[in-house]
């Protein structure tokens, strides 16, 4: 991976770790979602809902 793409992938992984969705992070750093998915696998990040924002549940009264 070229250096600029590697740096963008690293920034994208930071966004995902902070709770941003993969698609949002990919758009923010200018990479294809598939590229960021491969970077997640190489970094050992879990797949699935790991980066999705937690849905807020209202307490039942």
* Per-residue H/E/C for the chain: CCHHHHHHHHHHHHHHHCCCCHHHHHHHHCCCHHHHHHHHHHHCCCCCHHHCCCCCCCCCC
Rg (CA), the chain: 13
Q: What is the pLDDT of residue 21?
A: 92
Give the CA distances from residue 5 to residues 22, 29, 52, 56, in Å, rounded to whole numbers and listed in that order. Answer: 16, 9, 23, 34
Q: What is the pLDDT of residue 51?
A: 46
> How many structural domains is the chain composed of?
1
Tokens representing 16 are 């995902």
**Is the per-residue pLDDT at 13 higher than 90?**
yes
Note whether residue 54 is domain-resident. Answer: no
Q: What is the pLDDT of residue 57?
A: 47
Note whether residue 17 is domain-resident. Answer: yes
Query: Using one digit for the tens of pLDDT, what is the confidence trace for 16-25?
Result: 999 999 999 9
Which residue has tokens 């050992």? 44
Task: Quote the domain boundaries for residue 12.
Answer: 3-45
Note whether residue 59 is domain-resident. Answer: no
Query: Using one digit for the tens of pLDDT, what is the confidence trace for 28-55?
Result: 999 999 999 999 999 888 766 544 454 4
Note whether residue 51 is domain-resident. Answer: no
């Amino acid at each position: 991976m070229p250096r600029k793409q590697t740096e963008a992938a690293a920034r994208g992984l930071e966004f995902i770790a902070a709770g941003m969705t993969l698609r949002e992070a990919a758009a923010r750093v200018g990479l294809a979602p598939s590229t960021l998915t491969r970077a997640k696998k190489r970094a050992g990040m879990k797949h699935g809902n790991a980066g999705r924002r937690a849905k807020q549940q209202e307490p039942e009264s």
